[in-house]
Amino acid sequence: MNEQLKRMEQALSQEDRRMLQSVYEPQVVTIPPSDACCNMCVTSEGEIRIYGTMGKKEPTDMGTTVYLSSKDCGLSWKTHYMEHGVLGAATYNPETGRYIAFHPQEHRPDRNALIGKEGTWAILSEKGHDSADYRLVKMSEREVFIMRPPMYLKSCKRWLIIGEYNYPERVNKTIVVFYSDDDGESWTERELLPSAPPFVVKPPHKGPRWQQYSAEPTIAELVDGELVMFVRTSQDYYYTYRSADHGDHWTGPEPSPFHGTITMPVLQKLSDGRIVFFWCNTQPMPELDHTQAFPPLTPRELTGYSEDVFTNRDANHLAVTEDDMQSWIGLRELFLNPIRNNGDFRSIGGANSKDKSVHQAQMVELPYHKLLIHFGQNTSARKVVLLDVNWLYEQERKEDFRLGLQNVSTQMYVKSNMGNYRGWSGHCAYNRTQGALLVPDPSGNAKEVLQICRIEDERLVYKKQGAVWNFPASKKGRVEVELRVVKSGVALCLTDH
C-alpha cells in the first residue's frame, strides 16, 4: 500500500472502515460542483477534494468557487468556499513535498489570477492547496489544453503532463507531451505527436462527424516501464501510442481494441499493479445528411469543424487488466445517464455545463480495493461514484425488471435543434422520449414485461424501438432470454459494444 492510501486509511474511524469495506457495486456518494477533468485531488493528509463552481446561470457566469471535501474516503462530503487566488486543485509529490498544477485550464478555480499569461505554465508550491504562495514556470509558448492531472513516474523521478494542441488554422487536434526531471523547475516539450486519421464519410453515414483526430490523452505505466497512451478520436475506436523511454519518444497511433467515439478514455494504475480503464463502450447513430437539418447548421458544423449531435454519451463502462493490457476483465456498464429518457434533455439542468453526459471522468484509488470515480457533465447528469474493483470480476448479471428500467437503455430521439450552443442550454443533443415500456405480462401472471414495438411518430429521428442491456464480457458464456414474438421483425443481437 502506498503512502497516500495509508494516510486515507489512518484517518478512518472504526465505523468508517466497516462502511467502506462493505461497498461493492457502484453507489452514488455526491453530486460534484463541476464537470470531471483535473479538479479532483488528494491532499498530503489524505483528504479528497473536488473543486468547481456553483450558482452558474449562464456558461459565461463565473459562479461561486467552492470545493467539496471528504476526509473519510468519499463516504461523506462537506462544501467549502474557496478563497480567491489560492492554488486549488494540484497533484502532491510525497517524495519532495511539492504540489504541481498547470495553466491554462478552464477548470482551475484560480484562473482569474492567471489571466494574461500566454502559453502553458506549470504552477509550483510547497504550501498546499489553500496557499496563494506559488511560482509559475513556463512550459511552452503554445497554449496547450490539458485535461489530466500531472503524472509522476517514480521509476525515473519524472513528471509527465500531456495535453492537446488545436492548430489555429484548421480543425486538427494533436497530442503534446511535457516532462520534467527536476521536480517541475524546467520542462521539455516533445514535438507534436502524429494524429489519428480523420473520419471519412461512407455508408451508413450521410454526413461528417465532428473531426477530433487525437484528443484527451490518458497514460498508464506498465510493469516494465513502458507507457501506454489512449486518445479520443472521431473513429469507431480509441487509438493508442506507446513510449519505451519514459515519454521521450512515442510510436503510434494505432487502433485500440476498445470501441469509443468522441468520448474521453481514462486509465488508472492501482497500487497492486492492476490498471482500470474507464470509457464509453458506445457507438453513435449513423450521421445524417446535415444539409437537411432544420434549423440549418453553420458551415463549421456542416463540414465537421464543430459538433452537430451526440448519441453515444449516455452509458459509461469499466474494465480491469491484471497482465499489462494483454487481456481485460469486466467491460461492465458503470452508470447510465439518469436523464437519458427526458423529453427536455436539451434544456434540463440549465447552462452550468452545455453537454449532458456521463462521459469524461477522473479516478482516485482508495483503501480496500475501492475506487472513487467523478464523471459526467451538467448537474443533471454528473456524479461521484464509489465501488469495489472486485465488482468487475462478476461473471453473471440478471434483469427481470422488478426494479424498473434503471439498468436498460430504451430512449428514442426526437427531432430537435442540432448543433452547437446558440444562446440557450441545448447543445449538440436530441430531446428524448421513452421507447420500450413495461406492460402487464400477456400470460396473466401479474408480472411486468418489456414491450418492444414500433410507433409511427413523425417527431422521431428513428422509429425502430429497442432495448440495450450490458453484461460482463467473456470469451465464452451463456445468455438466456425469455422472448415472446407476437409479430415478425424482431432482432436479438450480441455485440461487444
Q: Decide if 27 contacts 385 (C-beta within 8 A).
A: yes
Determine the structural domain holding residue 85 and report its residue range: 3-408
Grid cell for residue 386: 464509489
pLDDT recorded at residue 119? 86
Contact indicator for 99, 73 with CB cutoff of 8 Å: no
Whether 496 is in a domain gets the answer: no
Residue at 141: amino acid letter: E
pLDDT given at position 436: 95
Number of neighbouring beta carbons within 10 Å of residue 366? 26
Cell 498508464 belongs to 220
How far, in Å, CA of 408 to CA of 102, rounded? 40
Is residue 35 in some structural domain?
yes
> Residue 357 has which C-alpha cell?
453526459
294: its cell numbers = 432544420
pLDDT attached to residue 486 = 87
The answer to whether position 448 is within a domain reads no
| pTM of the entire predicted model | 0.95
How much is the pLDDT for 105? 54
Tell whether 353 is covered by a domain.
Answer: yes
CATH number at residue 339: 2.120.10.10
10-residue stretch averages of pLDDT, the chain, 497 residues long: 88 96 98 92 94 77 87 97 88 92 60 66 92 91 88 93 80 87 95 91 94 93 96 96 96 95 97 97 95 92 92 97 96 97 92 89 97 96 97 96 94 94 84 95 91 93 94 92 87 92
Residue 471 lies in a domain: no
In a domain, 460, yes or no: no
- Which pLDDT belongs to residue 103? 74
For residue 14, is it within any domain? yes
In 3D space, the residue among 35, 24, 50, 34 whose CA is nearest the CA of residue 358 turns out to be 35
What per-residue confidence (pLDDT) applies to 106?
Answer: 47
pLDDT of amino acid 107: 43
> What pLDDT does 113 receive?
54
Nine-digit cell string for 311:
448519441
Burial (CB count <10 Å: 0-12, 13-18, 19+), residue 406: exposed
Q: What does the pLDDT read at residue 67?
A: 94
- The residue to which cell 463549421 is assigned: 300
Q: What is the pLDDT of residue 147?
A: 86
Q: What is the pLDDT of residue 170?
A: 60
493 within some domain:
no
Closest Cα to residue 413, out of 342, 351, 337, 483? 342
Q: Give Cα 92 distance to the centre of its chain.
A: 22
Give 103-107 contacts, CB < 8 A, sequence gap 24+.
103/136, 104/143, 104/145, 104/146, 105/37, 105/38, 105/145, 105/146, 107/34, 107/35, 107/37, 107/38, 107/39, 107/51, 107/52
| Count of domains observed in the chain | 1
Which neighbouring-strand residues pair with 315? 336
What pLDDT shows up at residue 220? 97
Determine the length of the chain: 497
